[in-house]
Amino acid sequence: MLKRSLLILSALLCAAAPAAAQTVASAPVETPVAAADEGIPIQSELVRQRCGSCHTVSAGNIMTRISYRRASPENWEKTVKRMVTLNQAKLDPAEARDIIKYLSDHNGLAPEEARPVAFEYERRMVDYVYEDKSTTATCTACHSIGRVLSERRTKEEWQLLVTMHRGYYPLVDNQPMSAGMGFRRTRRAETEPGPDGAAPDNRHPVDKTIEHLAKVFPLKTPEWTAWSATMQSPRLAGKWALAGYAVNEGPVYGLLTVTDDPANPGGFVTEISYQLPRTGTAVVRKGKATVFTGFQWRGRTASEGPNPEPWREVMFVERTGGEMSGRWFTGAYDEIGMDVKLVRIGSDPIITGTSVVSLKADAKPVTVHIFGEKI
């Protein structure tokens, strides 16, 4: 018993030690996790310089770990933060932003891959149930399932991700989780066949999960191949008509003005003015935004006045470049926000809504305000 306690204490001390002293977490991986032609070349000199001390670069600019993964901007941001805090990666804020932008653009998700998990980025309060029970039980004890579904990796890279978890959290193999087990099976192996007569599947939960993730979320997909071959920065400068709905406040109508940000390629300066007919409130907000992977709008704005209220913006830019939709929320309280849809204003006026949704026949005269925008 004493020996077992000492072993557990030793493992915990290793997990809590600085990353520089952790062999598993900080030592470079000397060989690629898959054949070089399966990885995504990293053409950014900044990424190779700042990340190359741990992630080795081989022929064709293939980098260990990095070349075998695709992810959402939010997941890449989490990774960069972990590299800085745990592995002492030396990055200033501008470099970190540039690295996240590059990796999101070149090792990101296609629109068809990102849309089903938009609830994760938009911070929607939904009760999402994923179809694979083993993956859900293995991953959601610590992560939202949306975070897992925002990843694409080779099978070897999924396996290395599990190894990394074991390095950081040594008790994860046997720690009770949502299904009463950790990465490894802690219950007695079953011997009786199932209702369909098939032999019981006694593999460890994590092995089932790796097989599922490698099959359903591989590194290379037809959607990503098609999107990455034609992806380009969208031209969004101009005026956009806004129609939305805010919880407890009702419909929202207004105007978004987008200007190219010369200091931030792929970025924009924004000004939003909108009204809430139900309360008569008028709001003006100003901020900045960046579009990742050619379609993922991520912005921040603040209202005018002595007590500016910061908001975050998460929107999906449609392929036509003429529409955007998504959610704006406070950031501090995700449940407070509004659903929005924006349409680019052209030569014709756009009607976005009215102050009332219906009128009773033979009723007294009612004043109806029509909201819209024009150039």
Domain match, 124 and 42 both? no
Domain match, 158 and 72 both? no
Picking from 212, 239, 224, the residue whose alpha carbon sits closest to that of residue 322 is: 239
Domain match, 209 and 302 both? no
Domain match, 305 and 354 both? yes
Domain match, 103 and 114 both? no
Domain match, 159 and 92 both? no
In-domain check, residue 8: no
In order along its 375 residues, the chain shows pLDDT tens digits of 333 333 333 333 333 333 333 333 333 333 334 444 589 999 999 999 999 999 999 989 999 999 999 999 999 999 999 999 988 888 999 999 999 999 999 999 999 999 999 999 999 988 899 999 889 988 888 889 999 999 999 999 999 999 999 998 888 888 765 545 678 877 677 667 667 777 777 788 899 999 999 999 999 999 999 999 999 989 999 999 999 999 889 999 999 999 999 888 789 999 999 999 988 899 999 999 999 999 999 999 998 877 888 999 999 999 999 999 999 999 877 889 999 999 999 877 777 777 777 777 777 787 777 777 776
List beta partners, residue 272.
Answer: 256, 285
In-domain check, residue 3: no
Which of 107, 126, 160 is the C-terminal boundary of a domain? 107
d(CA 59, CA 38): 13
Number of domains in the chain: 3
C-alpha distance from residue 110 to each of 48, 76, 228, 245 (Å): 24, 15, 8, 27
Domain match, 99 and 41 both? yes
What CATH number is attached to the domain comprising 306? 2.40.128.120
Q: What is the pLDDT of residue 271?
A: 97
Domain match, 51 and 115 both? no
Q: What tokens appear for 153 in the block?
A: 């990796």
Range of the domain at 364: 238-373
pTM: 0.83
Domain match, 220 and 271 both? no
Which of 63, 87, 107 is the C-terminal boundary of a domain? 107
d(CA 217, CA 153): 7
In-domain check, residue 160: yes
